[in-house]
Structure 1
Amino acid sequence: MHTVWKGAISFGLVHVPVKMFTATEDKDIRFRTIHKKCGTPISQTRRCAHCDQDVEPEELAKGFEYERGKFVLFSEEEIDALKPDSARVIQILDFVNLEEIDPIYFVKPYYLSPDMAGGGAYGLLLEAIKQTGKIGIAKISIRSKSSLAAIRVVDNCLCLETMHFPDEIRAISQVPNLPEQQAVNEKELQVAKLLIEQLSEPFSPEKYTDDYRSALLEAIEHKISGESIDIVAAPADKGSNVIDLMAALQASLDAVKIPTDSGKADKKPAAKESKAETKTKPAKAKTSKAAKKGTAS
């Protein structure tokens, strides 16, 4: 793993030297823009429209547009001088309960490992967090971006997850067309709750896969090997704008074989797949050309 940050965690008078590593991996398939005539990648150049010439990296500066067309400039040295202590030290400000934090605050996770002779202090903090069930709330600066952070334990490793500041979270009141509070049909509500109960099970992340990326990778392999493939768009769903909630709920219950007249409805055996699941479950690209054609578009 590549070290993305190096510093220390500080809580009270305890100083824990750590190295930071990205905990997630971007597996997006990236395409480059190619000139179809000759097959050459198109380069993105830095060009000044006013001077009508390309600009070298040493001629660039950071600029903030305070009025339309007017900028105040900063050099890299000036920006570095303004960086807070959190650029070098993760200062834990408070310890809180994880369930008190809305997931909307979380941004990106990182793993922390002990650096130099910090193994003892690292193990102490890890065990203290694990046994108290608390997480640390801190401030950190990574790549000129200051943010809040939550420090918690994942297996036997300290994990830091960057967080939004409160003023970065938009108010719900800004969301347009939210429905006003209205009376809910009690019978529809009971059926909806029954459906949720039947579809509930322990979270198993390994069962969720990126079918679109898999289809793209297979299409790429076909093209590399010179095989001809037809890629067409899947037909659009012609659904009705008129929604009969009870009918939709009943159809969903029927799809998982749940008798609505019984309070002790059992899930159907996992070995048998319902018709609705067969229709909606993404087909693997290897076995279904239709699935590949639909997702590759």
Structure 2
Amino acid sequence: MHTVWKGAISFGLVHVPVKMFTATEDKDVHFRSIHKACGTPISNVRTCIHCDKEVGLDEIAKGFEYEKGKFVLFNEEEIEALKPESARVIQILDFVDLTDIDPLYYQKAYYLSPDMSGAGAYSLLVEAIKQTGKIGIAKISIRSKSSLAAIRVIDNCLCMETMHYPDEIRSLTQVPNLPEQANINEKELQMAKMLIEQLSEKFDPEKYTDDYRIAMLDAIQHKIAGQSVDIVSTPDTARSNVIDLMAALQASLEAAQAPPPATTPRTKRKSTPKKTKEIS
């Protein structure tokens, strides 16, 4: 894995030298814009509409728009000088219970490994966090972005998850159409709780797959082989606003209690060969 940050975890007067690695990876299917006429990728060119010319990277500064059409400019040296001490230190401020943090605050996950001769201090912090059941709340700066972070343990590895600051979380008052007062039918509530219990099980991440990505990769292989891709019309899912909740809950409970259907071999879909156009 590629090291994305080097520094130290600091709690009290203890410093633990660490390296940081991204814990997740992007597996989305990414497309490029292609000119249909000749099959050439379209380039994104930086241009100045005032000078009507292409602009090189060495001619570009960072600017903040403080009024419409007015910018204050910063060069890289000025931005570097403003970086806080946490640019090289993950400073743990507090230790809290994991259940105290709403998942809404989490951003991106990283793995931390011991650096240089810090294996002893690293192992000490891992074991201390394990035995207390706490997680550390820290401050860190990565790529000019200051973030809160949660430091916890997965197996024998320290894991850090960057977090939003409270003022970055939008207020619930901005969410439209939230019911002010709940008017719940007691029978419907009991059935809903029964359905939740029926569908409850231990979390197993391996059972969940990205069906859209799998279908897209399959379609890409068909295209490469010069075959057509089946186009299925989307069913009309429009429904009446009036829903018989009791009937829906009852049907859901019956479906959840029914044994799973026997699996049948998946048939290959038929595809029509199609001539491919060579791109030089």
Smaller-chain TM-score range?
Answer: over 0.9
Task: Identify the residue that residue 137 of structure 1 maps to in structure 2.
Answer: 137
1:295 aligned residue:
none
Matched, 1:273 2:273: no
* 1:249 matched residue in structure 2: 249
Partner of 2:66: 66
Number of matched pairs: 270
The Cα shift of 1:252 comes to 1.0
Q: Deviations over 1:40-92 (max 9, x none)?
A: 00000000001100001000000000000000000011001000011100111
**Cα separation, partners in 2 of 1:233 and 1:51, compared to 1, 3 Å:** farther
Coordinate RMSD, CA, aligned = 1.9
**Partner-residue secondary structure (3-state), 1:256:** helix
**C-alpha distance after superposition, 1:168-198 (max 9, x if no partner):** 1111111111011132111111111111110
Distance, in Å, in 1 between the alignment partners of 2:14 and 2:188 is 56
Q: Cα deviation per residue 1:197-253 (whole Å; 9 max; x = unaligned)? A: 101111111000001000000110111112223324422323222211111111212
Aligned counterpart, 2:32? 32
The CA deviation string for residues 236-285 of structure 1, in whole angstroms up to 9 with x for no partner, is 3232222111111112122224xxxxxxxxxx44xx339xxx9xxxx99x
Q: CA deviation at 1:289?
A: 4.6
Distance in 1 (alpha carbons) for counterparts of 2:25 and 2:210: 13
Q: Deviations over 1:17-61 (max 9, x none)?
A: 100000001100000000011110000000000110000100000
- SS of equivalent to 2:158: strand
Alignment of 1:109-120 (within 5 A): 109-120=109-120
Instruction: Give the match's secondary structure for 1:217.
Output: helix
SS at match of 1:78: helix
Aligned to 2:165: 165
Correspondence for 1:216 = 216
Identity within the alignment, %: 75
- Partner SS, residue 177 of structure 2: coil
In the alignment, the residues of structure 2 paired with residue 164 and residue 239 of structure 1 have an alpha-carbon distance, to the nearest angstrom, of 37
Unaligned runs of 5+ in 1: 258-267, 291-297
1:222-261 paired onto structure 2 within 5 Å: 222-257=222-257
* Map 1:83-122 → 2, pairs under 5 A: 83-122=83-122
Alpha-carbon separation, structure 2, partners of 1:289 and 1:233: 16
Shift of the 77–287 alpha-carbon distance from structure 1 to 2, 3 Å rule, reads farther
What amino acid does structure 2 have at the position aligned with 1:73? L
What stretches of structure 2 of length at least 5 have no aligned partner?
271-280
Task: Give the letter aligned to residue 159 of structure 1.
Answer: C
Once residues 289 and 165 of structure 1 are traced to their aligned partners in structure 2, the CA distance between those partners, rounded to angstroms, is 49
Q: Could you tell me the TM-score, scaled by structure 2's length?
A: 0.92
Equivalent residue letter for 1:177: N
- 1:154 corresponds in structure 2 to 154
Matched position secondary structure for 2:71: strand
**2: CA distance between counterparts of 1:136 and 1:26?**
27
SS of match in other structure, 2:217: helix
Matches of 1:14 and 1:287 in 2, distance apart?
61
TM-superposed deviation, 1:287:
4.1
Structure 1 distance, partners of 2:233, 2:57, is: 43
Report what 2:199 is aligned to: 199
Amino acid at match of 2:12: G
Output the amino acid matched with 2:130: K
Measured after TM superposition, the shift of residue 288 of structure 1 is 6.7
